[in-house]
Amino acid sequence: MADRLTQLQDCLDQLATQMYASIKYIQLHHSYGTIPSQPSQDPHPATDPTAANSNPSAAQEAASANEPPNPNAPPPEPIPDTPEVFQAALRELARDLIVKEQQIEYLIGVLPGIGTSEKEQEARLRELEQQMREVEAERLQCLEKKGRLVERVSQAVMCCRRV
């Protein structure tokens, strides 16, 4: 399990990714609004209920349907979602962002040092340093003991070879 700061950094990265993906979804799947007395800017007039049935570019698209695709041509624009689907997706995206933000708030709340003074934190660090010195001394003793035991086993093996 990663430490809390790493978890917090991962959550922040995930939040940024979710925000980017949400904005990209909205950009690609929104429907075009209509402005009274203005021409429609919708690239898919078939999805626009106020658009007329005549589409001058439809004949060009039908003619170019038999041609091979141009690899340098930009990808076709996605068709907007229906208003119901789009609103449902927006609610889900917003809910995901809120859940991620709550995870971040929780991780910030359980960080060590929150709610303690600087002197208390320094005292805790001194205590941990002392514990670390004790454990290090114990580790060195264990290494010496291991060395002595390895030497005894080596001598025992050598004695067995001579017999």
Rounded (to 5) percent helix, strand, coil in the chain: 65, 0, 35
Question: Confidence class of residue 44 from pLDDT cuts 50, 70 and 90?
Answer: low
Structure tokens at 28: 């690609």
61-75, 82-96, 132-146, range with the lowest pLDDT: 61-75
Q: What is the mean pLDDT of residues 112-122?
A: 81
Quick one: pLDDT band at residue 58, thresholds 50, 70, 90? very low
Within the chain, what is the greatest distance between any pair of CA atoms? 110
Q: How confident is the model at residue 150 (pLDDT cuts 50, 70, 90)?
A: very high
pLDDT mean over 155-159: 87
